[in-house]
Amino acid sequence: MSIPSVSSIVILDDEGKRVAVKYYETLKRARDVQFTFERNLFTKSSHLSGKGEVELLILDDYIAVHKASHDLRFYVAARHDENELILVSVLETLYEALCTLLRGVVDKHAALENLDLVLLVIDELIDGGLILETDPTTIVNRVSMEESMEHSLTEQTISQALATAREQISRNLLR
């Protein structure tokens, strides 16, 4: 038994094409293995209702959790003996952080337009397969390099935090 770990985070569009992916451990290596894996994820999840609920998939040696949002499909995969619900919480954190950063519209267009933010969220969420942070607000702050709030976070309401984050991002975008 070891520390809970994630073997990959995959974000695909509604045709199964890559938007953003990050592989850890063994899956990291062969590119065609990755593509096969993504195709399997996509076909296996295509029959799910995708009403925004997190669903579970089993693929050979891996277990994956899945969530659809507009034309995007999110997956978090791990070895098959991992605790499924931990993966669910990772996926939810990922989604919530993106929701904040993409201002509530999590679709392919927004994700590509802000790909830097998407990749940074993944980077702040998982480090080398280990779960780095599970609080979406903290992740949003770290992605936008907004550290003054790190300590005062508990006193702020979430909406305030979101407002600051948005302001920060728009400032950066307009610069």
Q: In the structure encoding, which two tokens stand for residue 171, read together?
A: 């400032």
Measured from the CB of residue 7, what is the shortest distance to another protein in angstroms? 15
Asked if 111 contacts 118 with a C-beta cutoff of 8 angstroms, the reply is yes
The single residue among 147, 152, 155, 159 that binds another protein, judged by CB under 8 A, is 147
The single residue among 88, 99, 156, 166 that binds another protein, judged by CB under 8 A, is 88
Alpha-carbon separation of residue 38 from 9, 26, 96, 133, 164 (angstroms) = 10, 15, 22, 25, 36
Nearer to another protein, 73 or 142 (CB): 142
Asked if 168 contacts 144 with a C-beta cutoff of 8 angstroms, the reply is yes
What region, left, alpha or beta, does residue 88 occupy, with left being phi > 0 and alpha being psi -120 to 50 degrees? alpha
60 contacts another protein (rule: CB under 8 A) = no
The single residue among 14, 16, 28, 57 that binds another protein, judged by CB under 8 A, is 57
Residues at the interface with another protein (CB under 8 A): 1-4, 18, 20-21, 31, 34-35, 47-49, 53-58, 65, 83-86, 88-89, 109, 112-113, 115-116, 119-120, 123, 127-128, 130-135, 138, 142-145, 147, 150, 172, 175
